[in-house]
Amino acid sequence: MGVSGLTQGENGRAAAPREDWLDAIRGLAVLGMVETHAVNTLLAAEWREGEGFSRLMYANGLVAPAFLWIAGYAQGLGARRRQERGIAGWPVRTLRRLILILLLGFLIHLPMPGTGATWRLFFGIDVLQCLAASLLGVVALQHWLPRHQGVGLAAAALLAIATGALPAAALNDPTGFWPLDAWFDQSGSSLFPLVPWAAFVFLGVLMARWPSPLWVWPALGAVLLALPSPPFISKSHPTFFAERLGWLLLVVAAVQALGRTLRFPRWLLFAGRESLAIYLVHLALLYLVPTARWVGPQLAPGPAALAALGLAVISIGLAWGWRTWRSRRRESAG
């Protein structure tokens, strides 16, 4: 039995219990996110080579797809429950949260004195903007074309995946207007453009709206991993997408299976539920304190791992304290 209990629905009604396995996967992704940023920021250059480091970077590359897929799955699950309960209209709370996430994604890269940020970086698309924009499109599709949303989402996912097969030059500067081109750019100025990353969100929504037996996910993951995988072409290429989706589905199936026999740690579930707060806190601790300038990149693997662990503990602890303070404040006010 999970610890989440009932959550509040869009219209103030009691919603269905949270999916603990979904929070657990997001919690694991939070830990991977903190480790990735800590290692990228603090590890000394002489340790950034060799097979071990390459394998670590490959594993870290699964963190962003996990966040995007989970966000899509959670949105699809919520939409399915709203439909089953006969709740119509725009999900106002969801829209507000997505707009907030979109704005935060840009504000994090706001050019400030001493940060080294530029306006080109400001308009570049990171994971928060990709996630929020993709889900805003999903919400619009679900509202305007409720009977054809499955076809629409499948078409959007295929378009995002297939477009990635185009030469990168075709997507880097198609209009000459960077705030628009950034959403598709493959030069590296945008870390998570819509092509192909939005497809993880769309497929997450589809898998939640039309549930299938648990064995289907690892089977599909195994098939994707068995597909021919040529040498690295680009992060937008369909083979890049398929390989990472395959690993993601295997991990998701494993965690979901574990959730049927084990009780996930409360701190892990909390980290999954408060992923946005922990994301912002750990970035502030790394770059605003500024730890990055004081410490790295000069650490060996052992100290870098300890730094990542400490960063995760402090970030989760601060998020927990903030949540507890807000809860007590609401109780005293109510």
pLDDT tens, position by position, 250-299: 999 999 999 999 999 999 999 999 999 999 999 999 988 877 778 879 99
Q: Which uninterrupted H or E stretch holds 241?
A: helix 238-258
Mean pLDDT of the chain: 90
Tokens of 86: 């006969």
**Region 201-208 average pLDDT:** 96
Is 119 a residue whose pLDDT tops 90?
Answer: no
Maximum mean pLDDT: which of 17-21, 43-47, 173-177: 43-47
Is 62 a residue whose pLDDT tops 90?
Answer: yes
pLDDT range class, residue 18, cuts 50, 70, 90: low
Residue appearing with tokens 């603990």: 20
| Residue (of 233, 120, 240, 234) closest to 173 by Cα position | 120
C-alpha angle with apex 105: 101 to 106, nearest 5 degrees?
125
CA distance 109 to 115: 9
Neighbours of 194 (CB within 10 A): 24
DSSP assignment letter at 17: E
The region of weakest confidence among 193-202, 228-237, 307-316, 318-327 is 228-237
Q: What does the pLDDT read at residue 8?
A: 37
Percent above pLDDT 70 for the chain: 93
Please give the model's pTM, rounded to 2 decimal places: 0.91
Give the SS3 label for residue 15: strand
CA distance 234 to 51: 20
DSSP assignment letter at 230: P
Q: What does the pLDDT read at residue 51?
A: 93
Is 333 a residue whose pLDDT tops 80?
Answer: no
Sequence-ordered strand ranges (E) for the chain = 6-8, 14-17
